[in-house]
Amino acid sequence: GSCAGNIVPNKTENGGRRDEGDRPDLAEQSLLNKMIRHTLVKNRNLVEVLQRDPTSPLYSVKTFEELRLKPQLLQGVYNMGFNRPSRIQENALPMMLAEPPQNLIAQSQSGTGKTAAFSLAMLSHVNPANKWTQCLCISPTYELAMQIGQVIQQMGKFYPEVKLAYAIRGNKMDRGSKLQEQIVIGTPGTVLDWCTKLKLIDPKKITVFVLDEADVMIATQGHQDQSIRIQRLLPKDCQMLLFSATFEDSVWKFAERIVPDPNIIKLKREEETVDTIKQFYASCNDKEDKFTALCNLYGSLTIAQAMIFCHTRKIASWLTAQLTKEGHLVALLSGEMTVEQRAAVIERFRCGKEKVLVTTNVCSRGIDVEQVSIVVNFDLPVDKDGRADCETYLHRIGRTGRFGKKGFAINMVDSPHSMNIIKQIEDHFNRKILKLNTDDLDEVE
Ligand code: ADP
């Protein structure tokens, strides 16, 4: 095949491993988002650019033509259905493709076009006549590395001279002979082995180094040190590029160690707001009563699409079973599922095969499902101490009412305690949460 690696990776034992704890596994979350995302996320914020040399002109492009890409690559880009650069690409691509090469640290949420951008940069910088590794890209997990590889293969579809190899566990290689693939993508440990112990890659010949998902990277034990050790093997004039979805201090410190003299590009995530969302509560006596109330609402829920949040996996599966028993078609997104299974559930929900998705908070945190009109809090979000968890509340209901659409949030209340939580949420956002009447949902689109 075209641009395909000669080295076929084996699925390794870590393939389906998951963090079973309460904390969502960042690498999994990121993978899931990549698996379910086929378009750019909408983001109306402006890109912030901090140039290393503030006196040099700031280039930004509105078209791919302006980048003077190789025709094979331009064809690849258009073949992927890209018409114009994304927000972040408008600024990042000219910097990455500049001569002499510039270093870059870029931060923007998942789905804003980072992977496509650095894939294009690597493909552009490669000299296919040279049969050695020139671009090195590291990513936190096997699965995420594979995702990047797929993007490079698609984009390089009309540029088959460029070959790609995966430096991931399970790809057993013999010591000594040098790789001929111009681009290598892998996880830090294996990449380090290939550069040092096995000497398959001469790090001094690397001209572009990419570190993707820096925030996920540093969350994994050992990856930070390995990444820094790889970076130290590279020549001084190697272009260094680092990407991250978030930017806490720890990520920032790490980024500065990986990328000397960086240009910095940031695109803030769109703030979530309760302002465009009509919020209601429904008074119930207990769990069964909440279920009955939900059934009464069901017609409204399925006019558009709804997500129902439960406190635990157990309640989520109970509710799903009850709704199914009533003859309703619902999907369940649950923590027991593999990433592939979860992606399949979300995909079905997305294309409307099921109109209602039942989930827990842990499971769906960080997942972008955009077209939900109604969010039902079957259980209200609370913290460890049983107080209102307003941040989670906002994340949950922030999925509705986006981009000019009307959103609805319905909170199931089954005790004085939960009514008190409603009060706390009202106070926190300074917005009334009204008692639900039967005709309140008439405007659901
Ligand atoms: P990130 O790495 O920031 O998560 P990706 O590069 O994976 O973002 O892009 C997110 C989605 O948008 C992918 O499905 C990708 O194919 C698509 N995409 C990327 N750039 C463009 C573009 N310029 N035009 C249209 N779609 C794009």
Q: Secondary structure of the chain: what % helix, strand, coil (to 5)?
A: 40, 15, 45
Ligand 1 centroid to 38 CA: how many Å?
7
- Say if residue 445 is exposed, middle or buried (CB neighbours under 10 Å; 0-12, 13-18, 19+): exposed
Question: Hey, is 388 helix, strand or coil?
Answer: strand
- Say if residue 414 is exposed, middle or buried (CB neighbours under 10 Å; 0-12, 13-18, 19+): buried
Ligand 1 centroid to 80 CA: how many Å?
10
Query: Hey, which of 32, 33, 40 would you mutate to test ligand 1's pocket, going by the most ligand atoms within 8 Å of its Cβ?
Result: 40
Query: Hey, which of 82, 122, 350 would you mutate to test ligand 1's pocket, going by the most ligand atoms within 8 Å of its Cβ?
Result: 82
Structure-derived torsion over alpha carbons of residues 66, 80, 85, 265, reported in degrees to the nearest 10: -120
Query: Hey, which of 31, 37, 212 would you mutate to test ligand 1's pocket, going by the most ligand atoms within 8 Å of its Cβ?
Result: 37
The DSSP call for residue 180 is -
Which residues fall within 8 angstroms of residue 390, CB to CB, at 6 or more apart? 381, 424, 425, 428, 429
Nearest CA to ligand 1 atom 26: 82
What tokens appear for 385 in the block?
């101490």
Instruction: Check residue 15 and give its pLDDT.
Output: 36
Q: What is d(CA 224, CA 356) in angstroms, rounded to the nearest whole number? A: 40
The pTM of the full predicted model, rounded to 2 decimals, is 0.86
Atom of ligand 1 nearest to the CA of 40: 12
Question: Could you read off the pLDDT tens digit of each residue along the chain, which spans 445 residues?
Answer: 334 343 433 333 333 333 334 456 888 888 888 888 888 988 889 999 999 988 888 789 999 999 999 999 999 999 999 999 999 999 999 999 998 889 999 999 999 999 999 999 999 999 999 999 999 999 999 999 999 999 999 999 999 999 999 999 888 888 878 999 999 999 999 999 999 999 999 999 999 999 999 999 999 889 999 999 999 999 999 999 999 999 899 999 999 999 999 999 999 988 888 888 999 999 999 999 999 999 998 888 888 889 999 999 999 999 999 999 999 999 999 888 888 999 899 889 888 899 899 998 776 776 766 678 899 999 999 998 999 999 999 988 887 766 667 789 999 999 999 999 999 999 999 999 999 986 777 767 6
Ligand 1 centroid to 210 CA: how many Å?
17
Ligand 1 centroid to 78 CA: how many Å?
12
Identify residue 264 by its one-letter amino acid code. Answer: I
Q: What is d(CA 305, CA 166) in angstroms, rounded to the nearest whole number? A: 40
Q: What is d(CA 55, CA 271) in angstroms, rounded to the nearest whole number? A: 32
Which residues sit with their C-beta closer than 6 Å to ligand 1?
37-40, 80, 82, 85-86, 89, 110-116
Nearest CA to ligand 1 atom 24: 82
Nearest CA to ligand 1 atom 25: 82
Atom of ligand 1 nearest to the CA of 212: 2
Ligand 1 centroid to 40 CA: how many Å?
5
Of 165, 160, 167, 155, residue with least CA distance to 1? 160
Of 266, 269, 294, 272, residue with least CA distance to 282? 294
Query: Hey, which of 115, 213, 267, 370 would you mutate to test ligand 1's pocket, going by the most ligand atoms within 8 Å of its Cβ?
Result: 115
